Amino acid sequence: MRIAFVVNNYPPKTGGVETHVHSLARRLRSSGHEILVITLADVAGASSEDGIEVIRMREHLRVGDVLGFPSPGTTRRIARLLKERRIDAVSVHTRFFPMTWIGLRAGRRAGTAVVHTEHGSDHVVSPSALISMASRMVDRTLGRHVLRAADEVLGVSESVTAFVRRLSGREARVFYNAIDASPRPATSERFPRADRLVFVGRLVAGKGADVFVDLVAELAAENPGLESVMLGDGPDRAGIEERIRRAGLEARIAVRGRVSAEEVRRELRGAILVNPTTLAEGFQTTLLEALDVDGRVATYDVPGARLLREQGYPVMIAERRDLGALLEAVDAARNADAGDARLHGWYWEDRADEYVETLVRSVQGRSRMA
């Protein structure tokens, strides 16, 4: 098939949606499909990356290192590209991105099937009342329109499909997130590190970096061998580093900033991923990445966590979203055996064929409508 991903963000930009699209696109390309990515960037241009044609259009008015807007006339330009490349299906992601709306409109103009994948399990969570109000307004207008108008809607967890139903009345199909399998090390290199805690995520309000610092402060005095590391960057980094200094934890918490995916896996190997996010997560791949490298997870109750625990993986879920309950979950994780079982069914090699089936159904449905 000829598939076009129309997305706001794509690597080298980082984030959960970016990782999802990048991994899925590469897997589809390796399976013989022809992939085109149309995205936004500071500098426009075209390139071939991993055998995938990537067209970057000029981005304007970027907000919060996440949301940017294309130039006027982008819908018309993309529709022309879709026709010229004889694209079979358009893939768009997350309801509130401008390129999602544009991808839908361009696909309609080109007569192409559009499949939308939703990654959020609720309205955007923000300490700013203005942002919360604006995001809900976008959800109830443009977001709702995308969910209702796409040929098929997927959600990366049951929590996401429930949100889609509440917002739009649309029944979405669950399409779980996945990861690329990591090389399996020798048995002698696999070992649990019960005294190593890792935080992975953007340093923004609600992601839980502040809670992670407070948790380490609680554990440090009675655990002299405790190691901890924070992976990620963001607008709250200066405040987090000041919080670490005030707690006297400069020698106990290493703030590494943004690192490569390979480095994330190395830090997580055998360690405990601490995941105190209160944001409207869809399905965090960091949970899978930790389990894939013999790690354990201590988390608030987030989408996917209960399913993974039910499948027998060492995922400890805090009974409440507070520091005391998270400490209990971390204690349980420190005493748990990471085990030796590989993840089953959580890799892109398992998920890509399922995605193609969805695209084929959408194309056939669009053809019948025509």
pLDDT at 64: 65
What pLDDT does residue 131 have?
Answer: 80
Enumerate domains of the chain plus CATH numbers. 2-178+347-369 (3.40.50.2000), 187-334 (3.40.50.2000)
Count Cα neighbours of 250 within 13 Å in the Cβ-side half-sphere. 4
> Is the separation of the CB atoms in 349 and 176 below 8 Å?
no
For residue 224, whether the previous peptide bond is cis, meaning omega lies within 30 degrees of 0, is no
Q: What is the DSSP string of 229-279?
A: EEE---TTHHHHHHHHHHTT-TTTEEEEES--HHHHHHHHTTSEEEE---S
pLDDT of residue 261: 87
pLDDT at 340: 53
Structural tokens at position 54: 């990537």
Q: Each residue's pLDDT tens digit in the chain (370 positions)?
A: 999 999 999 999 888 899 999 999 999 999 999 999 999 999 999 999 999 999 999 999 887 667 899 999 999 999 999 999 999 999 999 999 999 999 999 999 999 999 999 999 999 887 778 888 989 999 999 999 999 999 999 999 999 999 999 999 999 999 999 998 877 665 545 556 778 999 999 999 999 999 999 999 999 988 988 999 999 999 999 999 999 999 999 999 999 999 988 899 999 999 999 999 999 899 999 999 999 998 999 999 999 999 999 999 999 999 999 999 999 999 999 988 655 556 888 999 888 889 999 988 888 877 666 5
- Angstrom distance (rounded) from CA 280 to CA 163: 10
**Considering the entire predicted model, what is its pTM?**
0.88
Q: Do 20 and 285 touch, CB atoms closer than 8 A?
A: yes
Which single residue is written with the structure tokens 């190395």?
Answer: 266
**What confidence score (pLDDT) does residue 190 get?**
53
Q: Which of 109, 102, 116, 56 has its CA nearest to residue 82? A: 109
Q: Are 313 and 144 in contact (CB under 8 A)?
A: no
| Geometric angle at alpha carbon 286, from 233 and 135, rounded to 5° | 65
